[in-house]
């Protein structure tokens, strides 16, 4: 009888677990890279923000504060590199929306605009990122790669990125 009661409590606990919204942060690390004849062992560390309903992933975003001195900057085309000169900060986002009726890429773009960022297309960088050997582990082929440029000078000069989707906890990420 005690075992049956314990199983019932476990089942109820699992059922209630799937009934609420939650957020998490973390990081994703891609080790090494290649560009033409250049090979490097440095890692690309992407900060991660995720939004779940129970155990179902609604939206996931990996964010890299682009650095001109990083070997991964070689993946930018000459036109994409021009944004380094025009931006106070250039963020590369790798985002996934499981259900656009819940949280979409448009919702994320609106949140980035509220943080003072304009979107930039990064086709060349995207191609290199999606063919990285670790990309398959993270299934980034299903993700959308975008750049976000914070032009200088800005009235919103902060090293934090704040994202707030309705029904979810407010998330702040240190860049």
pTM for the predicted model, two decimal places: 0.85
Residue 7's pLDDT band, with cuts at 50, 70 and 90, is low
Question: From CA 82, how far away is CA 69, in angstroms rounded?
Answer: 14
Q: Note whether 102 and 58 are within 8 A (CB).
A: yes
Backbone angles phi, psi at 119, to 5 degrees: -80, 150
**Domain range annotation of the chain:** 21-174
For residue 128, what is the DSSP state?
A: H
Asked if the model's pLDDT at residue 12 lies above 60, the reply is no
Q: How far apart are CA 84 and CA 77, in angstroms?
A: 11
27-76 pLDDT, tens digit per residue, is 999 999 999 999 999 999 999 999 999 999 999 999 999 999 999 999 99
Handedness of CA 75, 129, 158, 154 (dihedral sign): positive
pLDDT of residue 149: 94
């Amino acid at each position: 009888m005690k075992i049956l009661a314990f199983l019932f409590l476990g089942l109820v606990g699992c059922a209630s677990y799937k009934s609420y919204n939650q957020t998490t942060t973390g990081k994703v690390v891609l080790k090494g890279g290649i560009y033409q004849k250049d090979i490097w062992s440095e890692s690309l560390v992407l900060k991660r923000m995720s939004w779940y309903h129970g155990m179902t992933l609604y939206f996931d975003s990996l964010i890299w504060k682009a650095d001109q001195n990083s070997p991964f900057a070689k993946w930018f085309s000459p036109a994409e590199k021009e944004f380094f000169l025009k931006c106070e900060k250039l963020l590369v986002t790798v985002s996934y929306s499981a259900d656009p009726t819940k949280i979409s890429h448009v919702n994320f773009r609106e949140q980035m605009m509220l943080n003072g960022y304009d979107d930039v297309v990064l086709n060349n960088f995207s191609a290199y990122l999606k063919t990285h050997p670790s990309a398959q582990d993270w299934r980034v082929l299903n993700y959308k790669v975008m750049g976000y440029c914070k032009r200088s000078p800005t009235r919103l000069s902060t090293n934090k990125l704040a994202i707030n989707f309705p029904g979810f906890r407010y998330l702040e990420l240190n860049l």
